[in-house]
Amino acid sequence: MLQLSDATRLTVNLTIDSAAATGPRLFSLGASNSQTFTVSNPAPVLTGIAPDSARIGQTVAVEFFGMNFFPDATTVNVGNGITVNAIEVRSTTSMRARLTLSMAAALGVREFSVSNASPGGGVAASRDFTVLRNNGVAGAHLHYRRAGDPGFIKQSMTLTGGNNYRGDILANAVTSRGVEYFITATDADSAQDRLPPDQYFSIQIQVSSEARHDEQGTPVAQPAGNTQAAYRLISVPLLLDEPNAHAVLADELGPYDDTKWRLYGLSLLASPNLNDKEPYTELRNSGDLLPGKSLFLIVNEPGKVIVTGTARSVRTDQEFAITLQRGHNFIGAPFNFTIPINKLRLQSGNSVTLRTFNASGWPEAAALAPWEGYYIANLNETTDILFVDPDLSSGPQKATPAGATSAGGWRVQIMASCAAARDDFNFAGVLPQSKNDYDSHDRAEPPPIGEYVSLYFPHPEWQKALARFSDDMRSAATPNHRWDFDVASQAHGETVRLQFDLKEMPAGEVELYLLDPDLQYRQNVRENPVYTFIARGIEHAKKLALVAGEKEFVAEHVEAVAPLPRDFELHQNFPNPFSSMASERTRGMASTTIRYRVFNLLGELVATLVPGEAQAAGYHLVNWDGRDAAGRPVTAGVYFYQLSANAISQVRKAVVLR
């Protein structure tokens, strides 16, 4: 905030966050001389430590609580005989120090304190910490589990001589998931020590081969086919001795043959928003299957199970880091067990949204499952890092259903299909916590693959790394909204079908219309939730709009595109000429019974598209696929389509190309 008192005094309120670099700064107004302003560290405050005692010879993790803790600026003061191994500042109010008490450490009460470096800084008031005598080991226990299990198995260890103890891990815990363990020891005074002081040790397990299995242990085969529905993202949650994808896949699928199987990865050189092709590279003789990464695979023959060669499990005593490039990213589970989404975090602090691919498109996912692949968008202008935490000690946690609306919100799901391709997971709606421009509730549209149909909301004005979005959520504080969206498909001449699912909309409170500006057509979505049109290739994406809100607002937008009919009219087909499919639009000012027929130049009847049925007043579309009554493609040439309604008859000319 700026406040000008007079010509000689300007008051500015500044906020200095915890990430600000300390030291002198130069402040100036315009081209005036600069003045030095120093950013200093505040003095720390120490309110408590836990635990507040340990025995000599012990390594222990001590939590420090207070205020004004900063990475690289805050240190702990513990005195002679105690070594500070590591400091982790978790927040400005909490940090952890790993301490080792040497055998020479003096017994009794110590004063622990914390300091902040200059400029500024200072030392906080101390807290007491007691160094206790080491009374020797009276017993020890081994705690172990399969990696990814929520709880440890506790087993007494056997004294083998002196202070040496032995514990055995049972074979059923030794799997390709890896093994985790820690050891506790108790002295004569029942004081307990733990190794390691926190978390656990990880044992990487070597396996001769591995494959994906279901819960009953049955190997899972790849989906098969040659349509978009057969594509799947695959990953391997192991460190392979030979990670080359072709070396792994050829054992089961045979040498690379694009009639039997094909493999794709994201192209690092492709634009993330290409209109003329998908941003993929076909991996004919390259590509690696690495933990945390996934590739697209399509297999034509059924029953194929992907089996790896020799491999070992990934360490599970630390987070696994996956670098996310700007734009599209395909990732996989780095561990051979399922990781819930609440164990994932982004270095940027943004929320994590996972999507997987199946025959219906790109649904959101609540977890990283091994052997599967996932899509994650990085909308930043720079790389980000996804951290995967393998520690499931707290047990699996129930995830919030993907994309669920909250109280005071609603959304419409728009499902697109064309031939065998589908794109079902597209949403327009409102949320109390959303904004009318970009926020975390807006989801990027994943890149389509195969013979696809893709529905997306274009938003280049948001200036994100990607400009196409499958979810466009607006503010519920604004009652009226218009969503412009595009639908593209490679299946030129095929029928695209849009289905609007209104189950998450309030009944009758919101007017909802679909607009087709090309055809000057409007449709009440509540009355008719299905719309079809003819795909014209990816270079000619269909542009549509969805208008929702109060009656007056909706009426204004609808009338601007398609005013209410004041007479009976048959419009020219679109496109014209055409080769495989055309749409004809009619409008009527009153309910009537219509008949719609196609004739050749000799006046012979070719096809009856509408045999005679009642239609309400308004706009209606009729599609002709260029076939006769027997389903045979007609020859190239000129045809006439006739609309008859009561005593009215109108004719238009259509040109078929072959």
Residues contacting 167, CB < 8 A, separation 6+: 140, 141, 142, 144, 155, 156, 157, 158, 183
Across 441-510, the runs of DSSP E, i.e. the strands, are 443-444, 453-458, 468-475, 481-489, 495-501
Residue from 617, 615, 620, 588 nearest 521 by CA: 620
Count CB-CB contacts under 10 A for residue 562.
21
Q: Is the dihedral of CA 139, 145, 147, 151 positive or negative?
A: negative
Residue 277's pLDDT is what? 46
- d(CA 19, CA 25) in angstroms, rounded, equals 15
- d(CA 332, CA 356) in angstroms, rounded, equals 10
Q: 532-554 pLDDT, tens per residue?
A: 988 887 778 999 999 999 999 99
Q: What is the number of alpha carbons within 13 Å of residue 225 lying toward its C-beta?
A: 13
Q: Determine the distance from the C-alpha atom of residue 221 to the mean position of all C-alpha atoms in its chain, rounded to a whole number.
A: 25
Residue 402's pLDDT is what? 45
Residues contacting 29, CB < 8 A, separation 6+: 10
Look at residue 597 and give its three-state secondary structure: strand
- d(CA 441, CA 635) in angstroms, rounded, equals 50
- d(CA 464, CA 466) in angstroms, rounded, equals 5
283-287 long-range contacts, Cβ below 8 Å, gap at least 24? 283/245, 283/246, 284/256, 284/258, 285/246, 285/256, 286/244, 286/245, 286/246, 287/244, 287/245, 287/246, 287/263
Q: 367-393 pLDDT, tens per residue?
A: 999 999 999 999 998 999 999 999 998
Cis peptide before 432 (omega within 30 of 0): no
Contact 41, 121 (CB under 8 A): yes
- d(CA 99, CA 59) in angstroms, rounded, equals 6
Specify the pTM. 0.75
Residue 439's pLDDT is what? 95
**At 360, which amino acid appears?**
S
Q: Give the DSSP per-residue string, 424-455.
A: ---EEEEETT--SS--TT-EEPPPP-SS-EEE
Mean pLDDT by 10 residues, the chain (658 residues): 69 74 76 79 93 88 94 91 93 93 90 91 91 84 96 94 88 96 87 87 96 89 93 97 94 93 82 54 91 96 94 97 95 97 95 95 96 96 96 66 66 95 96 94 93 94 94 95 94 89 88 90 92 84 95 89 64 66 55 82 88 73 85 91 80 85
Look at residue 632 and give its three-state secondary structure: coil
